[in-house]
Amino acid sequence: MYDDDNMDDDYSPIESILERYENVKNGNSVGLLDEEDFERVVEYYFQHNNDAEALLACDIAKTYYPFSSSILLLKAEILTQTQKYGQALKSLDELEQYDQANLGAVLLRADVYLSQSKHEYAAHFLLKSSDNFQGSEKIEILLELADVYDECEEYEDVYQTLKKVLALDTRNEEALQKVSFWAEFTNQLADSVTLHLQITNDDPYSTLAWFNLGAAYQGLKQYDSAIDSYQYCVAIDEKFEFAYRNMADAYMRKKEYDHALEVLQKHLEIGKAEDVIFEAMGYCWEKQKNFSLARHYYRQASKLSPEDDVIFYKIGETYAREHDWEKAMKAYSVALNIDKENATYCLAIGNCLMEMNVTNEALLCFLNAVRLKPSVKTTWLALIRGLFFVGHFDEALTQIEVARGNCGDKADFDYLQAAVLFEMGKTKEALIVLENGLQESVSKIKIFTQLNPDYIKRNAVAELIAKYRKK
């Protein structure tokens, strides 16, 4: 409701307008309403979910103002909201007889077509209508057209339409925010570089254009150019957080972890602390083999995302690289407690237990990994290696056959089987299986030699390996 004390002399409170409207509706000619008053009456009833009265008010208004575009548009909007699409289109047809360049009518007609699942109609209509408009109105139609193309899954057209918007207004924020994504999605990164180079040449203070240029270079793996673009971006706006994120990622791709850490630290100074930033810093320190600092930042990330199992797994990895198996196992166990169906975590715990010589529990972990991911070769390799190292050779051979049934006849299993057969004293059979593995993949010979480096001291084995390496 409107406050009488705050009304200008020419702006009546809604109660007064409704009272005069009732007089008009009842045939009392006293107190006629102007066009704007009728609009307020219609909007009042529509907002109060009285669609019938709102439409009646539209019809009464039309008898007084038959050429009113605003009244016809209001009626079409109400009919669209009440899913009376055919009647809505008739109202728009009538409006267009008097006003052929009404932006609201164009956008509403497109909405009606979309509501009728006539996406191609909507796209064709908007494209054709855009020729009748200029400036900001044309841009609004093109942005709507881009959204329609998105719904039609005409993704190339989305990108091209956003380019049209930027040709009209290089600073259009919505187009700049969207065009980078669609350039990557449609594999138009090289074109995006050309586009944004032109924009930055014409408008060197456009932060979004510099950011998009960096993103395009980064997608093309031209990391130096990407970093230069992001540096221009933050030179214009030193609080542009996403530029720092992407710049850090580019440095990480180049394995320049010191520079990445500097950028991430700057991000922390200007933005809100986030788990992904701390996690990235942990990753950089881990790559520099400073595992203590890596854990510090991983733990900072875990405080913000205590249910993120991957962070605890990464903490476990830092301990494992220091051969601190007990602490590694504890971190992996936290990860597994969060995601109880993760085979990778089972394998990691099993490996720690094997290193700690707790073999029975380790084998149970490997069995659980196999149960969770029976089609993944890695789980079987861990289980079979575990059986090999504890001397359960018969069971190892059995599991090799089961593994082949689940994963196919891989060279990995031949190498494992050859090692088991050597340990069982079945030398001839072992050499035959070993040759099968060599025929399939010489590069995987480490699977065999790492189980027992003494194997290559056997003349027959050394000659066989040399033979296939020469090939």
The predicted structure's pLDDT at residue 9: 43
CB 391 within 8 A of CB 421: no
Burial of 404 (0-12, 13-18, 19+ CB in 10 A): middle
CB 434 within 8 A of CB 416: no
The pair of structure tokens assigned to 256 is 């320049």
Residues of the chain with CATH 1.25.40.10: 154-237
The pair of structure tokens assigned to 171 is 């600073």
The predicted structure's pLDDT at residue 7: 43
> Under 8 Å CB-to-CB from 445, ≥6 apart: which residues?
415, 437, 438, 465
Nearest to 205 by CA among 171, 155, 243: 171
Q: Is 97 helix (H, G, I), strand (E, B) or coil?
A: helix
CB 382 within 8 A of CB 354: no
Q: Where are the alpha helices (DSSP H) in 203-308?
A: 207-219, 223-236, 241-253, 257-270, 275-287, 291-304
The predicted structure's pLDDT at residue 6: 43
The predicted structure's pLDDT at residue 11: 53
* pLDDT less than 70: residues of the chain: 1-12, 15-17, 19-23, 26-31, 48, 50-51
Nearest to 150 by CA among 181, 106, 193, 171: 181
The predicted structure's pLDDT at residue 29: 61
- Measured in residues, the chain has a length of 471
CB 226 within 8 A of CB 249: no
The pair of structure tokens assigned to 469 is 């390496």
Assigned CATH for 1-99: 1.25.40
CB 355 within 8 A of CB 323: yes
User: Which strand (E) or helix (H) includes residue 366?
Assistant: helix 359-372
Question: What number of other Cβ atoms are within 10 A of residue 258's Cβ?
Answer: 9
Alpha-carbon gap, residue 365 to 49, rounded angstroms: 62
**The whole model's pTM is what?**
0.81
- Architecture per CATH, 374-471: Alpha Horseshoe (1.25)
Q: Where are the alpha helices (DSSP H) in 390-445?
A: 393-407, 411-423, 427-440
The predicted structure's pLDDT at residue 80: 84
> Under 8 Å CB-to-CB from 139, ≥6 apart: which residues?
165, 168, 169, 172, 175
The predicted structure's pLDDT at residue 308: 97
Burial of 100 (0-12, 13-18, 19+ CB in 10 A): exposed
Assigned CATH for 154-237: 1.25.40.10
CB pairs under 8 A, 24+ apart, for 177-181? 177/208, 178/146, 179/212, 180/211, 180/212, 180/215, 180/216
